[in-house]
Amino acid sequence: MTKALSNPAQKHALSTPTKASGGHQSSIKTVEESSSPAPLHTLGHSLLEEPKSNMSSIKGTPSHTASPHPAVKAMEERAKQRAERRREIEEMKRKREEEKLAELQAAEEERQRKEEAEKQALLEKKREEKRLQRQKELEKQKSLERRQQLQTKADEHYQKFLLKKRGLKPWKRLLEHSKHNVQLAEGHHDSSLLRRCLLSWQQIANDSLSERTASAAELYHHTLLRRCLSNWLKCKDYTSILEEKAGRFYRASLVKKTFLALLNYITEEKIAMWDKQKIAAEHNQRRIVLTTFGRGEDSQNDE
């Protein structure tokens, strides 16, 4: 019973390391909540009833004759659960320590690998430097050999150049100059012959052209004179025809004018004769009237 009554203190002692654990507090609380079989209000009610059972046991009530109290059973059950939780917590701690140890071992192995890699890199760098140094030495040697070869070729080229410049080239230049002079002489001779031939041909061509020009000019003057005479005769004939046409037109116009004047005169005479006849008829009519009236007056006077 004393152990059962001291369970709250044990529970407090169990909760204390969980608070000190820091990062794992939430996981421990989750384990405790998942493993507790009874709710909180039931545990509180049982804890309140524990003093009463203790008091009854202190007063001398025999516990072995009565059946275990439910609170005692609950406390024993909780003690079992706490022991189980403690084992779980210890298991979790052990696992965490193992994990930390594994992490430390992994970190140590990683550090060793890094050191080994750095050593390998350093060795590789040294080997690369040695290789580069050997390569530079080989390149220097090749460059030296190349310069020697180039120097040898330059000497050979200079010797050939001297031979060409001082020996072959002047002789070749002399041959070319003489050949050029021969070509100039031949060209001058050919051009002089061609000039003579062309001058003779030009003289003949000019004479022939002059003769042809004179013949053409004479023919042109003759043709021009003949055309002038022909045109003059045509003009004379055309003038005669025009004069004859003009004479006929003049005579026809004169006859026409004469007949028109005669027709006008006849017409005027007819009109004058008609006027005179009209006047004569009127005068005759008055005379007849006067004669008739005169005879009537005479007859009246006679009466």
User: What tokens appear for 37 in the block?
Assistant: 């079989």
User: What tokens appear for 280 in the block?
Assistant: 């004569």
Least confident of 13-17, 70-74, 137-141, 193-197: 13-17
What is the phi-psi region of residue 202: left when phi exceeds 0, alpha when psi lies from -120 to 50, beta otherwise? alpha
> N- to C-terminal Cα distance for the chain?
225
pLDDT in tens, 233-285: 999 999 999 999 999 999 999 999 999 999 999 999 999 999 999 999 999 99
Cα 254 to Cα 258: distance, rounded to the nearest angstrom:
6
- Calculate mean pLDDT across residues 12-30: 40
User: What tokens appear for 247 in the block?
Assistant: 């004479």
pTM: 0.25
Confirm if 8 and 47 have CB atoms less than 8 A apart: yes
pLDDT band at 9 (very low <50, low <70, confident <90, very high): very low
* More confident call, 159 vs 26: 159
Least confident of 55-64, 97-106, 125-134, 238-247: 55-64
pLDDT band at 298 (very low <50, low <70, confident <90, very high): low
What is the pLDDT, as a whole number, of residue 289? 86
- Calculate mean pLDDT across residues 26-53: 41
